[in-house]
């Protein structure tokens, strides 16, 4: 299992760079992972990341776009502005959760 060190913390990741142990996650790690994607985290980003964390805690899966809209109150357009090209995947990665599973 690959490991990498981000802003002083060593984290386990899978081949695609998604964290495999959420307990290693902290805000500095998030900032580092975001920087790798060319994103500087601001308040709006954190709102998204916090919703993902809360929803993951409740449901055990990364919320999809529609859930972000309806339950999280975050518009799709904003998600694309905050996390360009594949917002859900990117936000999940930065939030330290698994890559959202494709549906059935």
Partner 1 sequence: MLMKKNLLILGAGTAGTMMANHLRKKMDLNQWSIKIVDQDPKHYYQPGFLFMPFGLYSDEDVVRPKRRLVGGRVEYIEAAVDRVDPDADRVLLQDGSVLDYDILIVATGTRPNPEETEGMTGSGWRKDVFEFYTYEGARALREQMAKWKGGKLVVHICEMPIKCPVAPLEFTFLADWWLGERGLRHVTEITYVTPLSGAFTKPTAAKILGHLLDEKKIHVVNDFNIARVDNEKKAIVSWDDREVPYDMLVTVPVNMGDPMVERSGFGDELNYVPTDKNTLQSKVKENIFVIGDATDAPTSKAGSVAHFEAEVLTENILRHIKGEPLKPDFDGHANCFIESGHGKGFLLDFNYDLEPVPGAFPVPGVGPFSLLGESQINHLGKLAFKWIYWHVLLKALPIPFIDHRMSYRGKKIPKELMKAKV
Catalytic residues, by residue number, are 103
Question: 5, 14, 27, 66: which one contacts partner 1 (CB under 8 A)?
Answer: 66
Backbone angles phi, psi at 89, to 5 degrees: -60, -45
Cβ closest to partner 1, residue 10 vs residue 76: 76
Residue owning tokens 């290693």: 24
CA distances 89 to 8, 18, 73, Å, are 24, 9, 18
46 forms part of the interface with partner 1 (CB under 8 A): no
Cβ neighbours of 60 (radius 10 Å): 7
- For the bound state, the minimum distance from the C-beta of residue 44 to partner 1, rounded and expressed in Å, comes to 16
The one segment of 10-18, 31-39, 45-53, 96-104 that binds partner 1 by CB under 8 A:
96-104
């Amino acid at each position: 299992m690959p490991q990498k060190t981000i802003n002083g913390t060593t984290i386990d990741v899978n081949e695609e760079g998604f964290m495999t142990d959420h307990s290693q996650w902290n805000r500095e790690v998030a900032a580092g992972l975001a920087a790798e994607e060319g994103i500087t985290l601001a308040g709006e980003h954190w709102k998204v990341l916090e919703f993902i964390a809360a929803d993951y805690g409740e449901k055990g899966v990364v919320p999809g776009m529609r859930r972000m809209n309806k339950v999280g109150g975050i518009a799709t357009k904003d998600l694309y502005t905050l996390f360009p090209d594949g917002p859900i995947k990117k936000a999940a990665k930065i939030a330290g959760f698994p890559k959202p599973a494709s549906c059935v």
